Amino acid sequence: MLAIQLAITGLQTGALYALTAVGFSLIFGSTRIFHFAHGAAFVIAAYFFYAAFGAGWGVIPAIGVSAFGAVAFGLLLDRLVYVPIQRHEGSFFTVFVASFGVGIAVQNVIGMIFGRGYVTVNTTLSRSVEVIPEVYVSPLAWIAIACAAVFLGGLGFFLKRTHTGMALRALADNPELVRTFGLNPRAIQAAAFAIGSVIVVPAAIITSATTGLSPAIGHHVMLISLAATIVGGIGSIPGTMLAGVMLGLAESLALLVVDTQWTEAVTFAILFAFIIIRPSGLLGRATAH
Amino acid sequence: MLKSLKITTAVALTALTLPAWAEDHTIGALFPLSGPNAVYGDVFMAGSDLAVEHINADGMLSGTMSIAYEDSQGLPQPAVVGMTKLVNVTGVPYTLSAFTGVSKAISTIGQRSSVVAVNGGGVGPDLAALGEYFWNVIPLVNLEVRAVVPYLTGEMGLKKMVLVYIDDPFGQAIESELETAFEGSDAELAEVLSVPVTAQQFSGVAAKVRSAKPDVVYVASYGAQQIQIVKQLRDNGVDAQIVSYSGYITPDALALPESDGMIVTGQAVDYASEDPVTKRFVTDFKARFDKDPTAYNVNYYNATLLYGLLAAALEKDGTEVTGENLLAKRLEMKTFDLVGGTVSFQDNGTLLSPIEVKQIKGGATETLDTVEIGG
């Protein structure tokens, strides 16, 4: 029964990891910007939901506020930080440092506004019920899995079947060619930030009710996003989704064989294994140098 | 003309000699001001800042006193950087410390540089053995464990415990204390689960706790993590009694609905005491923060006030305020009037205090029992 319990728990965690990581993977894969502040988008989405829900706005308006916060942050960061740096031919490292700095600034601003302590959204949906003897599942676990299926399926459809989606994939392959076809790479880049930021919203909201929040949570989000992106294959959205679920499952099922203190190490053991054995990741394309 | 010259000379001499008498006092503090443990920094500063305000208002020292805060993040590495700066650049003779790992890391610098470090927040038992320049104004967690285990197994009849602890020197110390406390009793420590310092997901841990079917779960962590553990244990179907130590008594943790019914331990402070130091502290704290003080507020108020008392005594003797002289003066004075009454240090530089066993109810704590601890 413990194995079934851990598998369900791992699936819930994996769904959240996938939702978190895919946004980062989409942005990094299509724009090549190391968007370290993706963790900050997560924090903003979570705290905006917490504030709006706590103010009695109801779930749907609070989700709207959360999505608005995340998308506005992504777009403003792109417009006010990344684009000017790229215009001056700033290096990959310059962009990374700027993004890192924004992440820290957001952490401190959130701390100033909401306090630096722990907060959580209180809901009965986070309370587990016994579905079969000795196996407990909370309604939020099903919601997390359903959200992952809907959002990630929707993203897949969007990237394959819409003009903007195809443009995003094209931008990842060859920005110059995108320009040749009369498309605006800056506008496509903005779309990548908007979509990548909004897709983090369900994970941020569910985390606010299950794990709880502190302004510093963004660093952990980034670690997981980075691990899933590399394990899945840089630039591969389906690979990142799969890697997110795989890491969540591995972290949870590892408890069957290792002590609890090693669960996080399992994630990074998998990451190192992929870097050494299969650097292109689960579904990434091998590149020749 | 001669009179003017005399006046000018007198003023000049006064101006030249004044700094020697009215020297400003700066002490250091290594508190977590950012990161997941930052909430403690706010709590600690509420106490230390109020003490500085009182010391300056009373004119206890010849100059103005202030605190140079450094952000330790609750981690040893940034704390060592901060302590090095405080000792070598700011040149403080006395510093406030918090957290077990931080205190252990900085204690060697304090010992080497003859700078006093006073801990009011870390509770690892090792903190009693960090040398003569390291003092504790908080009873350490071994005393809390010794107080709560008999209460749980005796008064409450809870015989099977699972421990969930953070994998660092503090958590390891709690594990060791609990194993010792259960030795030779009819109760058992059925399972011991350690979690990494950075972990945030505990639903898997909760599944393991549930499968062990304990009567009681002891949670030994700090900051946001300890609250996440309690919440996720409850959310994932763990209905056993949950117990923790004084570090759990923070505003965030008390406000969590899942904390209701938890047993916690902490030092006993008589806030209703009629002694002038306690009365002034309680009155001014409530007026300034609009809430009741906690033991952490008291500890850092006391740690800061202790500096004021020692430095004032040194100034009265005409002795320079250095770490070495502060230590010598503490050993000479022996007793101090601090919040909670007149206290004295043990030989290992740690204050003793009775331990209260409390229960969290409706966002506040209610005392169930007070245990006197022998030295």
CB atoms within 10 A of CB B92: 23
Strands (E), chain B: 25-31, 65-71, 94-97, 116-119, 134-136, 160-166, 188-195, 216-220, 241-244, 263-267, 335-338, 341-344, 355-361, 364-371
Contact B207 A5 (CB under 8 A): yes
Q: What is the Cα gyration radius of chain B?
A: 23
pLDDT digits (tens, 9 = 90+) for A217-269: 888 888 888 999 999 988 788 899 999 999 999 999 998 998 888 888 888 89
pLDDT digits (tens, 9 = 90+) for A27-78: 998 888 999 999 999 999 999 999 999 999 999 999 999 999 999 999 999 9
ipTM over 0.85: no
Greatest Cα pair distance in chain B: 95
The answer for B 37-96 residues in CB contact with A (under 8 A) is 38-39, 41-42
pLDDT of the residue at A102: 95
Contact A136 B237 (CB under 8 A): yes
- Is a pLDDT exceeding 70 seen at residue A137? yes
Closest chain B residue to A264, measured at CA: B199
- Is a pLDDT exceeding 90 seen at residue A182? no
B188 interface with A at CB cutoff 8 Å: no
The whole-number mean pLDDT for each consecutive block of 10 residues of chain B, a chain of 375 residues, reads 54 47 85 85 94 96 96 93 96 94 94 96 88 92 90 93 92 90 88 90 91 95 91 94 92 91 91 90 94 91 96 95 96 90 86 89 92 71
Q: How far apart are CA B105 and CA B99, in angstroms?
A: 10
The single-letter code of the amino acid at B199 is: A
Contact B196 A263 (CB under 8 A): yes
Burial class of residue A164, CB neighbours in 10 A (0-12, 13-18, 19+): middle
Lowest mean pLDDT among A134-138, A283-287, B255-259, B337-341: A283-287
pLDDT digits (tens, 9 = 90+) for A147-156: 999 999 999 9
CATH code: domain A2-277 is 1.10.3470
**Residue in B201, B228, B236 nearest the CB of A128:** B236
The single-letter code of the amino acid at B82 is: G
Q: How far apart are CA A209 and CA B256, in angstroms?
A: 12
The residue written with tokens 């993004």 in the block is A99
Q: How far apart are the first and last CA of chain A?
A: 49
Closest chain A residue to B201, measured at CA: A211
Greatest Cα pair distance in chain A: 62
Contact A260 B236 (CB under 8 A): no
- Is a pLDDT exceeding 80 seen at residue A14? yes
pLDDT of the residue at B201: 87
pLDDT of the residue at B22: 59
CB atoms within 10 A of CB B17: 10
Contact A265 B196 (CB under 8 A): yes
Mean pLDDT of chain A: 90
The residue written with tokens 């959130």 in the block is A110
* Ordered structural domains, chain B, with CATH: 2-138+272-352 (3.40.50.2300), 142-269+356-371 (3.40.50.2300)
Show me where the domains of chain A are located: 2-277
pLDDT of the residue at B19: 42
> In the sheet that B241-244 helps form, which strands lie side by side, from edge to edge?
B188-195, B160-166, B216-220, B241-244, B263-267, B355-361, B364-371
Q: Which residues contact A195 (CB under 8 A, 6 or more apart)?
A: A23, A26, A155, A158, A168
Contact assessment for residue A36 and residue B230, using Cβ atoms and an 8 Å cutoff: no
Q: Specify the higher pLDDT residue, A139 or B21.
A: A139
- Indicate the pTM of the whole model: 0.81
